[in-house]
């Protein structure tokens, strides 16, 4: 029988449901089980693609082109589970599907209601993933907080599945908060109330993962167990990790959360092989060197806006036995009268320009890129970052002062970045960009070819504008190296600066495929170059 684990949250948002679900998946994989991860988001958007990064954080893109919640990035970093469109469910998707069926007359004139039609659609989407013959355990994270009206249909679907599958085959993990009040006392009452709310919708949690800034001592855990009908062994302390979020699976393993879950699901326990994970955490804790890298972007006020970039940089550090200290630099710091790139970048050994949309802050990015190129500082441009590198080259080296992207300056005489012809007639923004995995071919004798060790690669894209082929010959004649192309040679995928230690721009998003136990080759090479710059 297939096993299901439903992960919910209470008291407040942002408690770490995604990390909890990912850590459980990591521990079960370490015991040899084949895991699948799913995220349910209760918002009405069909996907995360049109959301402002300040509201929602980064959009994580899958190989099949789905624009999803950033928690799916956690799943990909903590587990080997494949992540695709089917692993992300939103209220918008479910209601859109049911309404389309109603318009087609597929309900045979019946009144369409939340129960059973919406809940049946939710359950069908979970089963589509969980019933795969290769899958042992499916972990379903339900977004939002218990008590939110938006989450009610999903909690009801979970309740039904727990009842239908049997309690040994479908279990509940609830994440709550133990706050510290004035005087330093820890309070369990919010957790008790949260469990009561979950029980009111018909779900009795099997495991409570309680968030706190320090380890929750045994007496408090026993008190929580007594008031919530949860076994003492199922009350898990999710205290702040001392060094990195990647310690959380080990924190849970030390408390035998994986053993308890397997026992509750009546699965014969296997030995957990966490050697690779423990070695990765050791490298994180005990770096031999340190390097400071500036990320020059436009969404710096919200850390989650570039979540995968931060993590991939840390992974690159792990690959080089180094700690990466990330310096968040607002691209606006390079703009305006008196802006001094040398001063802004005085304390870093490399810069990364991440993706983004819109004109704001781009002139500052161009100034930062120019300084890095002229002062031989390692520079890594991703998506918009690559486009900024080509704009700077056109302005500075070719002397085209008005060179720009047609996204930012529609009437530019030198739109070195522009829309593809098939994008000109696009009216809707959702899901219409170049999305998902595609193949690139890398030229010999280049930084990217050296980093990958392969001629062909598969990477994920999320963009609407491309380097314009109308200017390719001029750019190359002026020295810019075109180092990666689509297989048909039609689109530029990678560029590099000549006579520079490490100046690389890529149109795709390598950060989405980086894992702590398998750092992405481009981030490994970039951090190595920054360490070399630091040692000059």
Burial of 84 from C-beta contacts in 10 A (0-12 / 13-18 / 19+)? middle
Is the separation of the CB atoms in 519 and 276 below 8 Å?
no
Residue 117 carries which DSSP code? I
Is the separation of the CB atoms in 432 and 426 below 8 Å?
yes
H/E run at residue 153 = helix 152-165
Report how far residue 501's alpha carbon sits from residue 261's, in angstroms, rounded to the nearest whole number.
50
- Which of 47, 236, 209, 33 has its CA nearest to residue 138? 33
Distances from the Cα of 443 to the Cα of 8, 14, 473, 481, angstroms: 48, 44, 17, 10
Report how far residue 383's alpha carbon sits from residue 392's, in angstroms, rounded to the nearest whole number.
15
Residue 500 carries which DSSP code? S
514: left (phi over 0), alpha (psi -120 to 50) or beta: beta
Q: In this structure, what are the phi and psi dihedrals at residue 476, rounded to the nearest 5 degrees?
A: -70, -35
439 forms beta bridges with 458
Is the separation of the CB atoms in 325 and 346 below 8 Å?
no
Q: Count the helices and strands in the chain (H runs, E runs).
A: 18, 21
Report how far residue 237's alpha carbon sits from residue 252's, in angstroms, rounded to the nearest whole number.
8
Q: Does a cis peptide bond (omega within 30 degrees of 0) precede residue 281?
A: no
* Residues noted as catalytic: 383, 509, 511
The three-state secondary structure class of 314 is helix
């Amino acid at each position: 029988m297939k096993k299901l684990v439903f992960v919910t949250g209470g008291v407040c948002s942002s408690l770490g449901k995604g990390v909890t679900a990912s850590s459980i998946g990591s521990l079960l994989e370490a015991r040899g089980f084949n895991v699948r991860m799913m995220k349910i988001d209760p918002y009405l958007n069909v996907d995360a693609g049109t959301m402002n990064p300040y509201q929602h954080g980064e959009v994580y893109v899958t190989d099949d082109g789905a624009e999803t919640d950033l928690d799916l990035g956690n799943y990909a970093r903590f587990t080997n589970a494949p992540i695709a469109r089917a692993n992300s469910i939103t209220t918008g998707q479910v209601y859109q599907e049911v309404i389309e069926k109603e318009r087609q007359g597929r309900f045979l004139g019946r009144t369409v209601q939340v129960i059973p039609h919406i809940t049946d659609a939710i359950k069908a989407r979970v089963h589509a993933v969980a019933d795969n013959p290769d899958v042992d355990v499916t972990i379903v994270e339900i977004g939002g907080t218990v008590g939110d009206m938006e989450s009610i249909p999903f909690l009801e679907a979970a309740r039904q599945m727990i009842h239908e599958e049997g309690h040994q085959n479908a279990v509940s993990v609830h994440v709550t908060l133990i706050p510290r009040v004035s005087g330093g006392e820890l309070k369990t009452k919010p957790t008790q109330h949260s469990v009561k709310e979950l029980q009111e919708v018909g779900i009795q949690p099997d495991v409570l993962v309680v968030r706190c800034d320090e380890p929750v001592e045994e007496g408090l855990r026993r008190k929580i167990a007594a008031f919530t009908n949860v076994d003492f062994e199922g009350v898990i302390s999710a205290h702040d990790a001392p060094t990195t979020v990647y310690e959380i699976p080990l924190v849970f393993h030390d408390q035998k959360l994986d053993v308890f879950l397997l026992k509750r699901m009546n699965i014969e326990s296997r030995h957990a092989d966490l050697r690779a994970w423990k070695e990765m955490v050791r490298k994180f804790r005990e770096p031999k060197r340190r390097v400071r890298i500036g990320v020059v972007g436009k969404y710096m006020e919200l850390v989650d806006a570039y979540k995968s970039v931060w993590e991939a940089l840390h992974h690159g550090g792990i690959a080089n036995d180094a700690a990466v200290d990330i310096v968040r630099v607002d691209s606006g710091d390079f703009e305006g009268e008196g802006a001094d790139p040398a001063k802004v970048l005085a304390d870093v050994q490399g810069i990364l320009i991440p993706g983004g949309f819109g004109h704001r802050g781009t002139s500052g990015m161009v100034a930062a890129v120019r300084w890095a190129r002229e002062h031989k500082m390692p520079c890594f441009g991703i998506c918009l970052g690559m486009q900024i590198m080509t704009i700077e080259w056109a302005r500075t080296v070719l002397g085209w002062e008005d060179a720009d992207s047609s996204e930012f300056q529609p009437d530019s005489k030198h739109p070195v970045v522009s829309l593809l012809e098939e994008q000109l007639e696009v009216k809707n923004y959702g899901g219409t960009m170049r999305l998902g995995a595609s193949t690139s071919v890398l030229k010999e004798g280049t930084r990217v070819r050296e980093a990958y060790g392969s001629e062909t690669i598969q990477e994920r894209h999320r963009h609407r504008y491309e380097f314009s082929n109308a200017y390719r010959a001029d750019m190359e004649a002026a020295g810019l190296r075109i180092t990666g192309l689509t297989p048909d040679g039609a689109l530029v995928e990678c560029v590099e600066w000549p006579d520079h230690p490490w100046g690389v721009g890529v149109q795709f998003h390598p950060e989405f495929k980086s894992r702590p136990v398998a750092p992405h080759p481009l981030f490994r090479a970039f951090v190595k170059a920054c360490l070399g710059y630091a040692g000059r």
